[in-house]
Amino acid sequence: MIDIKFLRENPEAVKENIRKKFQDSKLPLVDEVIELDAQSRAVKQQADDLRANRNKISKQIGQLMAQGKKEEAMAIREEVTRQAQQLAALEAQEAELSEKVTKIMMVIPQIIDPSVPIGKDDSENVEIERFGEPVVPDFEVPYHTDIMEKLNGIDLDSARKVAGNGFYYLMGDIARLHSAVIAYARDFMIDRGFTYCVPPFMIRSNVVTGVMSFAEMDSMMYKIEGEDLYLIGTSEHSMIGKFIDTINKEENLPYTLTSYSPCFRKEKGAHGIEERGVYRIHQFEKQEMIVVCKPEESKMWFDKLWQNTVDLFRSMDIPVRTLECCSGDLADLKVRSLDVEAWSPRQKKYFEVGSCSNLGDAQARRLKIRVSGKGGKYFAHTLNNTVVAPPRMLIAFLENNLNEDGSINIPVALRPYMGGKEVIGK
């Protein structure tokens, strides 16, 4: 959420940012919020004046009573009562205007970083760098669920009967591989200095609206009926929520955390749920990383975070590339975002396996995550990135480590988590 003071002083910059995100329908909101903010401040000033006057009159009453001038004091007290009623009306009006301003401000997108390429959607994202040599074997690479089924590693039919499309049973060595990747990713991040955490898998609505836009909330989150709780779509939600309404000492920053959780997503919209695949599903597990830091350090941490994901995938012999997300592909709270994509030998192209985001002070401003430093209090910056998210990551793993006979090579880094196995065979 943008600072209202910045919007008030730089309305054209805010409008230009909206245009860069191709959200022209939101342009009138800038003028609307400026008008409402002016009304709110005017009402607040009236209320402050009344409070000051009430305090002055109260002192007069005390003085008159002390002098024995009870009748004069009672006459003035009637004025205090009248002003109290007027003040109550102003406070109600002030609260109503403040709520309207906040509601609009929650919709106006965050100011994007100057480095972000301008584009309408993900088709205009810009490739930055490739890591590892993409290889297409001289044998046909089957669809990922076919690979799993030949290894007795997945049961989609039973899952469909139990829960519907978008769910799965992982079995045997494939299930073990899934858990091994998560465990390896956990230790990989711990070795890089991150603190391991298992967070709550449900969060309250005020945390949901603090960490994501309303559009994301509607398309992603599952609501627990009858309770103010939502199932998390990623552990970033509860991990950033951990710092809600806190004042953190500057010398304690940055907080660098890596978290495990199951994730639950509606996956509404154009992408939809695949009936046979496990690329877009309603339930999966994920290792995440988040950082809460000083504003001047967020760019440095952004580069460190995405590099962690690249290094993890390369340690498992999977070629990857990075893409800078264009303006139209950025969620409203994001200042900058970079996707990590893994190579698919079957499709002969890359596909997304992780996303690194710098949200500036947007989440911190909504959740009141503040820092106390020598220069006073200010809002922290928050960042998040996917370490690994199987089973999507398993697609890349299986395709890139597949042998012609259908067996799967286990990279050296992962063997300790697979009981020393070097190959998953038929």
The pTM score is: 0.89
Residue-level pLDDT at 85 = 82
How far apart (Å, rounded) are the C-alpha atoms in residues 89 and 26?
Answer: 31
CB neighbour list of residue 279: distance below 8 Å, 6 or more residues apart:
351, 392, 395
**Rg, Å, the chain Cα set:** 27
Instruction: Give the per-residue pLDDT at 64.
Output: 63
Which stretch, 99-103, 282-286, 304-308, has highest mean pLDDT?
304-308
In this predicted structure, what is the pLDDT of residue 208? 94
* pLDDT (average), residues 342-349: 96
Residues forming beta bridges with residue 257, ordered by sequence position: 195, 290
* Residue 252 structure tokens: 């304690």
User: What is the pairing mode between strands 126-131 and 283-293?
Assistant: unpaired
Angle at 213 between CA 207 and CA 216, to 5 degrees: 100
Task: State yes or no: pLDDT of 271 exceeds 60.
Answer: no
pLDDT for 63 beyond 70? no
Q: Which amino acid is at 193?
A: G
At 283 the pLDDT is: 92
The predicted-structure confidence for 87-133, as pLDDT tens digits, reads as follows 888 889 999 999 999 999 999 999 999 999 999 999 999 999 999 99
Going by C-alpha positions, the residue among 100, 102, 99, 94 that lies closest to residue 4 is 102
pLDDT tens-digit series, residues 398-415: 999 999 999 999 999 999
Q: What is the pLDDT of residue 61?
A: 63
More confident of the two residues 184 and 279:
184
Q: Contact, 220 vs 266, CB < 8 A?
A: yes
The average pLDDT across 348-354 equals: 95
What is the rounded average pLDDT of the residues 226-249?
Answer: 96
Range with lowest mean pLDDT among 40-54, 236-250, 254-268: 40-54
Percent of the chain past pLDDT 90, that is, above it, reads: 80
The pLDDT value given to residue 275:
63
Residue-wise pLDDT for 204-231, tens only, equals 999 999 998 777 777 789 999 999 999 9
pLDDT tens digits for range 140-161: 999 999 999 999 999 999 999 9
Task: Label residue 280 by pLDDT band (50, 70, 90).
Answer: confident
Strands 349-358 and 423-424, sheet pairing? unpaired
Residue 168's pLDDT band (boundaries 50, 70, 90)?
very high
pLDDT band of 277, cuts 50, 70, 90: confident
- Name the pLDDT band for 28 (thresholds 50, 70, 90): very high
181-189 mean pLDDT: 97
Burial of residue 393, with CB atoms counted within 10 A of its CB: 0-12 exposed, 13-18 middle, 19 or more buried:
buried
Is the per-residue pLDDT at 377 higher than 80? yes
pLDDT at 418 over 70: yes
Averaged pLDDT, 193-206: 97
Amino acid 82: pLDDT: 76
Spatial CB neighbours of 95, under 8 Å, sequence gap ≥ 6: none
Neighbours of 118 (CB within 10 A): 13
Mean pLDDT of 385-390: 94
Above pLDDT 70, what percent of the chain? 93
Asked if residue 172 lies in contact with residue 375, where contact means CB atoms within 8 angstroms, the answer is no
Over 70: is that where the pLDDT of 60 sits? no
Q: Which domains does the chain have, with CATH numbers?
A: 4-105 (1.10.287.40), 122-424 (3.30.930.10)
* CA atoms of 281 and 70, how far apart (whole Å): 76
Which range is most confident: 42-46, 55-59, 245-249? Answer: 245-249
State CA 413 to chain mean position distance. 30
For residue 402, the model assigns a pLDDT of 96
Q: Are strands 255-264 and 195-197 parallel, antiparallel or unpaired?
A: parallel
